[in-house]
C-alpha cells in the first residue's frame, strides 16, 4: 500500500516517467523504501485506472517515447489524506534477526561470521549514507533550507543513525559471544 503513496509523493514533486521514478527511489529513499521497476509500473497502471495519475506520451528524437506521469487533483487529495492520517505502526520483519534468533545451533564461529558480515554490510551502508550527507551539506551550504528539504534530510539522518546503531549492537553482541565459554 505504501508504494502507492510513495509514487504519489514523488509525482507531487514533479512529473516523472516510470524509469525516473525508479531512479528517484534509488537515489533518495532507497535506504528505507525500495521498489523494483516492475512494481513501479504495475502500481502506476493502477493509479491511472483509479484516476489518481495521468500520463502524457512524449515522443523523443532518436530515443524511445516516454510516458511522463503526473498527479491529478484527486491524486493530490488522496496523498494529502494519507499524509495526515494517523500512522499505524507496522511490526518489523527483519530476516537477519530471525537468523540470529535461531543461529545458536550452528556454534560460535558460524554465528560470528554471520554477525561480522552484517557489520560489514551496515558499515558500507553507513559510508554511503554519510557520503550522501556530505555531498548534500556541501551543495546546500549557502542555501536556506525549507521544510520539505529539512524533512528529506531527516530521513537521511535516520538512515545514518540506524546503520550506526546496528553496528554498535552487532559489535556488542560479538563481545558477548566472545566472552562465552566454547
Q: What pLDDT is stored for residue 181 in this prediction? A: 66
Range with the poorest average pLDDT among 115-119, 124-128, 133-137: 133-137
The stretch 93-114 carries a mean pLDDT of: 93
CA–CA dist 154, 150 (Å, integer): 6
Q: Is the pLDDT of residue 141 over 90?
A: no
Q: How confident is the prediction for the chain on average, in pLDDT? A: 92
pLDDT at position 182 is 65
Contact 69, 53 (CB under 8 A): yes
34 has pLDDT over 80: yes
The CATH fold of domain 2-84: Arc Repressor Mutant, subunit A (1.10.10)
Q: What is the pLDDT of residue 149?
A: 86
65 neighbors 59 (Cβ within 8 angstroms): yes
Task: Give 144's pLDDT tier (boundaries 50, 70, 90).
Answer: confident
What predicted TM-score, i.e. pTM, was given to this entire model? Answer: 0.79
Q: Where do the domains of the chain lie?
A: 2-84, 95-179
Amino acid at each position: 500500500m505504501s508504494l502507492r503513496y510513495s509514487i504519489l509523493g514523488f509525482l507531487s514533486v514533479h512529473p516523472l516517467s516510470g524509469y525516473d521514478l525508479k531512479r528517484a527511489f534509488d537515489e533518495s529513499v532507497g535506504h528505507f523504501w525500495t521498489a523494483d521497476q516492475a512494481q513501479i509500473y504495475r502500481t502506476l497502471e493502477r493509479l491511472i485506472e483509479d484516476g489518481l495519475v495521468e500520463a502524457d506520451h512524449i515522443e523523443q528524437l532518436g530515443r524511445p517515447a516516454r510516458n511522463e506521469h503526473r498527479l491529478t487533483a484527486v491524486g493530490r487529495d488522496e496523498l494529502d489524506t494519507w499524509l495526515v492520517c494517523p500512522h499505524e505502526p507496522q511490526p518489523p520483519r527483519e530476516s537477519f534477526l530471525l537468523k540470529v534468533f535461531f543461529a545458536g545451533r550452528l556454534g560460535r564461529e558460524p554465528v560470528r561470521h554471520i554477525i561480522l558480515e552484517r557489520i560489514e554490510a551496515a558499515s558500507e551502508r553507513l559510508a554511503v549514507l554519510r557520503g550522501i550527507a556530505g555531498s548534500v551539506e556541501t551543495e546546500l551550504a549557502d542555501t536556506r533550507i525549507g521544510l520539505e528539504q529539512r524533512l528529506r534530510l531527516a530521513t537521511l539522518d535516520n538512515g545514518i543513525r540506524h546503520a550506526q546503531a546496528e553496528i554498535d549492537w552487532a559489535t556488542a553482541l560479538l563481545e558477548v559471544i566472545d566472552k562465552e565459554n566454547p
